[in-house]
Amino acid sequence: MVFDATRKSLYWMLAGILITMTVFAFAIILSMFQSSQLEIPEEFEAEILALRFTHSEDCFAYKDVKTGRVFPNTIDPVKLNKDQLRRCYQTSSSSQGLKAFNFGIEVDGFTQKPLMTNNFILNRVKFELPKKNVFVKSGDQFVETQMKISVSR
């Protein structure tokens, strides 16, 4: 009779430890699943960052001087140069800059060689974003062409 109480308390102590370990394991598995579901793909993140090149007047987007309207996906050829790209997007000159997204930009018919951000390395292109249809303001008309953006990291 004396050992029954000891046996029961030993059983419940081991059962409590086992239940606690199971709850912790379940919590860890749930946390790992959640973080894998919330991870943003690199290509999507680069695409969102690259939108600034065609949508921001600080980058290459054309801005009508009369109305002040910025035309998305329309490039001002005067702005299509390395200095404008440097003002628009620049990464750190330290080793951290190599870990950031670095872009090489080509506009068919308007750039002889790619415009590259300060840490873009041509032979380390990780992926290319899908070619984007853009317009280029040429005189009084808009010329349709394609923009190719390469990404190194």
pLDDT of residue 95: 64
Tokens of 150: 């390469």
For the segment 26-78, what is each residue's pLDDT rounded down to a tens digit? 999 999 888 888 888 889 999 999 999 999 999 999 999 899 999 999 999 99
Looking at per-residue pLDDT, the higher value among 119 and 84 belongs to: 84
66-103 burial, b for 16+ CB within 10 Å, e for fewer? eeeeebebbbbbebbeeebbeebbebeeeeeebeebbb
Nearest CA to 82 among 50, 135, 134, 120? 120
In whole numbers, what is the pLDDT of the chain averaged over residues? 88
Q: Considering the entire predicted model, what is its pTM?
A: 0.71
